[in-house]
Amino acid sequence: MRARLTAAAVCLALALGVSACETRPTDPDNVAAAFVAALAAHDMPAAAALTDDPGPAAADLPRIVDGLGPARLATHVGQSRADSFRYTADWDLGAGRTWTYRVEVPLVRTPDGARVHWSPAVVHPALVPGEALELRGIGAARTRVLDATGLPLMAETTVTVVRLDPAAAATSAPATADALAPLRLDITADGLQDAARRAGTDAVTVVALRDDDYARVADALKAVPGITVSPQSRLLAVPGLDSPVLTPALADATQGARGWQVALVDGQDRFVRQLAGQAPGPADDVALTLDRRRQVAAQRAVATVTAPAALVALQPSTGAVLAVAQNDAADASGPVALSGLYPPGSTFKTVTAVAALQAKAVTVDTVLPCPGSENILGRQIPNDDQFDLGNVPLHTAYAQSCNTTFARVGSGLPRDALPHGAAELGLGSDWDVPGITTVTGTVPEPQSDAEQVEDSIGQGRVVASPFGMALVAATVAAGHVPTPQLIVGRPGVAKSPPPPPLPGDVRDDLATMMRETVTSGSAKRLRTLPGVSGKTGTAQFGDGRSAHGWFIGTTTDDLAFAVLVVGAGSSTPAVGVAAAFLGEPG
């Protein structure tokens, strides 16, 4: 029979400590109910206060269960006696994993009434002092990750794991960092010593090295006291390949085949035995839409600049993600390519053009002024180096990236025109894409005339990710927003209703203007490459003295892409990355 939680027990379970209630439960039934309620609420101070040894209990309880991660516990009190009670623990470990067991908890009489007799066994009967619970994944066996043509992207690889005894860190950390310097300058003596202090008595995992890399530093490492090495098999990107999408895509694609275990581990995190779990099921090869040739080209392209750089390439006809690459500087900020949000600068003129053409405010041949600088509704808008084209058609203003023209055009549109134009190009609406987390950008409705002027040239409150701008380019090429996909057979799902296709004349006008940008406009460095169209972008940020560089592009062989170089100062470095990606001769 389930015990009824009394008012005192409920108060205790919800409090951050027992002091929040005027009285503590003292009779066995109430102590039992309050103790398991505190465990279920993960209120370890309250649970510890109900034991006969609160200090050690408060120290041990979090350590015992923290290895289970954000698991949820439901507890049900069963038989209760003066000297003990039983409860059932139902753990929800996430992803459909559950674990249920029963515990017999001893009670003792103290001057304060009944108390739980503390030992780790009150959490699980197999626990002894010093041990803890840990949820571990078991990888699916025999998995390969292949690109769309069947070429391997990831494969089982033997690596050498280098570990450092924390007791030796004070003297061995500098020598370890020196030994690894030919491979990893980011591994420092100070960093190793900090890791050793956090590890306590546990060995510090320093690095995992492929065979070729380990051979370069093996002799130097063997001479360092406290260093141990051991071989392991891991699923890694094939040599020369790297992308922020590989590991999350593999985890998503093999989720159903992966096994799991609740492990009993000792004080050094060593496996003692399994308490619950499920063996991994058979796993098929994982096929991704990535094109290995494009991916390698993208990696090499972003590596040509030292500033943080990212490139995303899509196939307009299918929405397939063909390449996602970041250089080391961008990696330090996370998955910039997929979800980093930055002002898109003049690449956003593509959106302003769609909004203006749809509103019939202009045509591509409408002649408009392009002064070097102009005050538009209270905002002083300059062109780059204040170039002045005089009066030119809209398509020329787009190709030459005339800020004053597009700020003036955008300022005359309805308030909702820019958000609607962005949505028609796939920007501002997001997707659930299996294998990756993406954010396209945000295009809010301007709140003032001045803000609308800024938004029209990709400043103001408008932000976009490289993924979002690649989707814009792909939409121009396809005539509609393509459905992004990374894992073959699992297309993304739109989080909002998809927009209608672009009107044919609008799509053709955009394609014409993007082609002119390359043949005679701000991206003419690329004009020797066949079938390339695009749009450059420079986006100021901070105090206005720094700027990001952008380029979005398409090719006639079913390719769309976006390049971002953070803090580049102009679009020139982004155009250079695009040239390297597309294989510019020389």
Q: What is the pLDDT of residue 15?
A: 35
Residue 252: per-residue pLDDT: 76
Q: What is the pLDDT of residue 3?
A: 33
Indicate the pTM of the whole model: 0.72
- 179 contacts 217 by C-beta, under 8 angstroms: yes
pLDDT above 60 (res 486): yes
Longest dimension (CA), the chain: 95
What DSSP line would sit under 110-140, residue for residue? ETTEEEE---GGGT-TT--TT-EEEEEEEPP
Task: Return the exposure string of 23-54: e unless at least 16 CB atoms fall within 10 Å of the residue's CB, then b.
Answer: ebbeebbbbbbbbbbbbbbbbbbbbbbbbbeb
Q: Check whether 256 has a pLDDT greater than 70.
A: no
Half-sphere exposure (Cβ direction) of 404: Cα atoms closer than 13 Å: 21
User: How sure is the predictor about 7, in pLDDT bands with cuts at 50, 70 and 90?
Assistant: very low
C-alpha to C-alpha distance for 415 and 362, rounded to whole angstroms: 17
Distance CA 425, CA 431 (A): 14
Q: How far apart are CA 270 and CA 326, in angstroms?
A: 36
- The CB-based long-range contact list for 7-12 (8 Å cut-off, 24+ gap) reads 8/34, 9/33, 9/34, 9/37, 10/37, 12/37, 12/38, 12/46, 12/50
CB-based contacts of 357: which residues, under 8 Å, 6+ apart?
A: 363, 364, 505, 506, 509
Residue 498 to residue 253: CA distance in whole angstroms: 25
Q: Pick 253 or 73 by higher pLDDT.
A: 73
Distances (CA, A) of 567 to 4, 154, 465, 556: 62, 32, 15, 30
Say what the pLDDT of residue 20 is: 35
Whether residue 205 is predicted with pLDDT greater than 80 in this model: the reply is yes
Rounded percentage of the chain residues whose pLDDT exceeds 90: 71
Q: Tell me the average pLDDT across 307-312.
A: 97
Pairing type for strands 390-393 and 367-370 reads antiparallel
What whole-number distance in Å separates Cα of residue 407 and Cα of residue 397? 11
* C-alpha distance from residue 48 to each of 6, 101, 290 (Å): 19, 21, 52
pLDDT digits (tens, 9 = 90+) for 147-197: 988 899 988 788 898 999 988 888 999 999 999 999 888 899 999 998 888
Does 257 score more than 80 pLDDT?
no
Q: How many other C-beta atoms lie within 10 A of the C-beta of residue 312?
A: 32
Contact of 130 with 265, CB cutoff 8 Å? no
Structure confidence by residue, pLDDT tens digits, 222-239: 999 999 888 877 778 888
Residues 581 and 555: their CA atoms lie apart, in Å, by 12
- Cα 473–Cα 475–Cα 480 angle in degrees, nearest 5: 175
Strands (E), 335-453: 367-370, 373-376, 379-382, 390-393, 431-432, 441-442
Token pair, residue 364, equals: 């591509």
- 545 vs 345, more confident: 345
| Least trusted range by pLDDT, from 76-80, 117-121, 320-324, 370-374 | 76-80
CA distances from 119 to 68, 89, 106 (A): 19, 17, 9
Residue 12 pLDDT > 50, yes or no? no
The single-letter DSSP state of residue 70 is S
Average pLDDT on 507-525 reads 97
What class does CATH assign to 7-130?
Answer: alpha beta
Q: How far apart are CA 151 and CA 235, in angstroms?
A: 15
What angle is formed at CA 330 by the lines to CA 328 and CA 332, rounded to 5 degrees? 75
DSSP label at residue 487: B
Domain parsing of the chain, residue ranges? 7-130, 145-267+277-286, 292-582
Confidence at residue 5, expressed as pLDDT on a 0 to 100 scale: 33
Give the pLDDT confidence of 553-586 residue by residue, as tens digits.
999 999 999 999 999 999 999 999 999 999 976 4
Annotation: CATH topology of 292-582: Beta-lactamase (3.40.710)
The predicted model gives 41-51 an average pLDDT of 96
Residue-wise pLDDT for 77-99, tens only, equals: 998 888 999 999 999 998 788 99
SS3 call for 253: helix
Q: Which residues make beta-bridge pairs with 382?
A: 373
Phi-psi region of 219 (alpha: psi -120 to 50; beta: other; left: phi over 0): alpha
- Tokens (6 digits) for 441: 């950008």
- Answer yes or no: is pLDDT of 8 > 60: no
Q: How confident is the model at residue 419 (pLDDT cuts 50, 70, 90)?
A: very high
Average pLDDT in the chain = 90
pLDDT reported for residue 358: 94
Q: How confident is the model at residue 255 (pLDDT cuts 50, 70, 90)?
A: low
Could you tell me the pLDDT band of residue 140, with boundaries at 50, 70 and 90? low
Mean pLDDT of 328-342: 94
Tokens 């101070």 found at = 45
What is the mean predicted confidence (pLDDT) over 387-403? Answer: 96
pLDDT at 204 over 90: no
pLDDT band at 14 (very low <50, low <70, confident <90, very high): very low
pLDDT for residue 271 is more than 90? no
Number of CB atoms found within 10 A of residue 72's CB? 12
- The confidence score (pLDDT) of residue 11 equals 39
Look at residue 200 and tell me whether its pLDDT is greater than 80: no
Window from 83-97, 272-286, 320-334, 375-389 with minimum mean pLDDT: 272-286
- Helix spans in 210-291 (H): 211-222, 246-253
pLDDT for 542 = 81
CA distances from 385 to 322, 344, 371, 401 (A): 36, 19, 11, 12
On the question of pLDDT at 420 being above 90, the answer is yes
Find the mean pLDDT for residues 2-13. 34
Q: What is the SS3 assignment for 201-226?
A: CCCEEEEEEEHHHHHHHHHHHHCCCC
Mean of pLDDT values over 38-53: 96
